Amino acid sequence: MLEPHVPSAFDLFIAVVAASLVSAGLIVVLRPLLQRYALARPNARSSHKLPTPQGAGIAVIGATLLVTVIWQAVSGLAFPLTLTGAVLLIAIVGLVDDIRPIPVLPRLLFQIIAIGLVLLTLPSDLRMIPSVPIALERGAILLAGLWFVNLVNFMDGLDLMTVAEIVPVTAALSLLGWLEALPVLPTIVAATLCGALLGFSPFNRPVAKVFLGDVGSLPIGLLVGWCLLALAYQHHLIAALLLPLYYLADATLTLLRRIASGEPFWAAHRTHYYQLATDNGLAVTDVVGRVFMLNCVLAALAIASIQLTSPVVNGFALVAGTAAVAFVLVRFSTKQSH
């Protein structure tokens, strides 16, 4: 894929600021409508106690796409129509689900279609592991993408949680693009998504005035997953694993724990480690603050694994990142003494 130029630090700064302003402005405009038509009422899975409008993801994703498309048009690089279609499809599914819940199977089918569209943006000869048949590799990526999209949705259960996770990840991806470790398009998508979430953050800080909703969390998972896939295809697999490692660990270990205990793992619940942390006495701000700091550490390790290229550095980064995540998960699952 030919690229016009590597984004400068000024390009990325403008993308972040523009997306932030557009996102915040759209939320102000949309909030009365969301209050009326998309109210999230507390249930057994909820961490909030008052009915709260959801659907601010419309603003976040809208700002991300708008600023990205404008930047691409100015720079002369076309935004893939299949990627746009995938994001819009999964956002619409999320919006409908926010207003009137969709059964699990149709929801998964639409998600698979959206992820399949993303895979169509990949060159047919692009390979991660050449010794593995391409059909098997793409099938594994499809399943991994399906899990990643859903785990981002599962982890969006606390005020500012998605901001605390995705802002460090997308900021790191933007920096890696500036360092020429990531292609231009995912770099700009990461920067605009980072900015859009920063614009959303004042409205979502405890106690949240508005939630992302599935219309936000699902396409965020799709876009971040695509950016991480682009990073992995640049032969930076360790970094692509490190950046979302907390989300991967919390969601996957929670799923395995529920399966092992015989729980209906498909049913709504609030037993993720970050949810256990609030039950164990940590304030919401403490939980998201620790998640944010952890993700900053993981981002630093991911960048180091690319800039200081050696098997020793890669191994240390992976071990250190895993240990940091394990430490936080243990703290979250331990009763806090006051």
Least confident of 65-79, 210-224, 227-241, 259-273: 259-273
The answer to whether 202 and 24 are in contact (CB under 8 A) is yes
The answer to whether 305 and 313 are in contact (CB under 8 A) is yes
pLDDT value of residue 183: 92
Q: What is the mean pLDDT of the chain?
A: 90
Residue with the two structure tokens 């993981």: 298
Residue range 139-192, pLDDT digits in tens: 999 999 999 999 999 899 899 999 999 999 999 999 999 999 999 999 999 999
pLDDT tops 90 at residue 338: no
pLDDT band at 201 (very low <50, low <70, confident <90, very high): very high
Q: 215, 270, 211, 230: which is closest to 54 by C-alpha?
A: 211
Residue range 249-308, pLDDT digits in tens: 999 999 898 888 887 766 667 788 999 999 898 999 999 999 999 999 999 999 999 998
The answer to whether 13 and 194 are in contact (CB under 8 A) is no
pLDDT tops 50 at residue 195: yes
For every residue of 30-88, DSSP letters joined together read HHHHHHHH-EE---TT-S-SS-EEB-THHHHHHHHHHHHHHHHHHHT-PPPHHHHHHHH
Please give the DSSP secondary-structure letter assigned to residue 265. Answer: T
Tokens describing residue 47: 């961490």
Domains of the chain by residue range: 9-332
Q: Which residues pair with 52 in a beta bridge?
A: 40
Residue range 61-111, pLDDT digits in tens: 999 999 999 998 888 777 788 999 999 999 999 999 988 888 989 999 999
Q: Which uninterrupted H or E stretch holds 170?
A: helix 161-178
pLDDT value of residue 72: 86
Tokens describing residue 290: 């620790």
Q: 151, 161, 152: which is closest to 275 by C-alpha?
A: 161
Q: List the helix and strand counts (H, then E) for the chain.
A: 13, 2
Residue range 13-59, pLDDT digits in tens: 999 999 999 999 999 999 998 888 777 766 555 555 677 889 999 99
- Report the alpha-carbon distance of residue 297 to residue 111 in Å, rounded: 31
Q: Which residues contact 217 (CB under 8 A, 6 or more apart)?
A: 57, 94, 152, 153, 156, 162
pLDDT value of residue 270: 77
> Beta strand 52-53 with 39-40: parallel, antiparallel or unpaired?
antiparallel
Report the percentage of the chain scoring pLDDT > 70.
94
pLDDT tops 70 at residue 337: no
pLDDT value of residue 288: 96
Q: What angle do CA 333, 314, 154 make, to 5 degrees?
A: 35
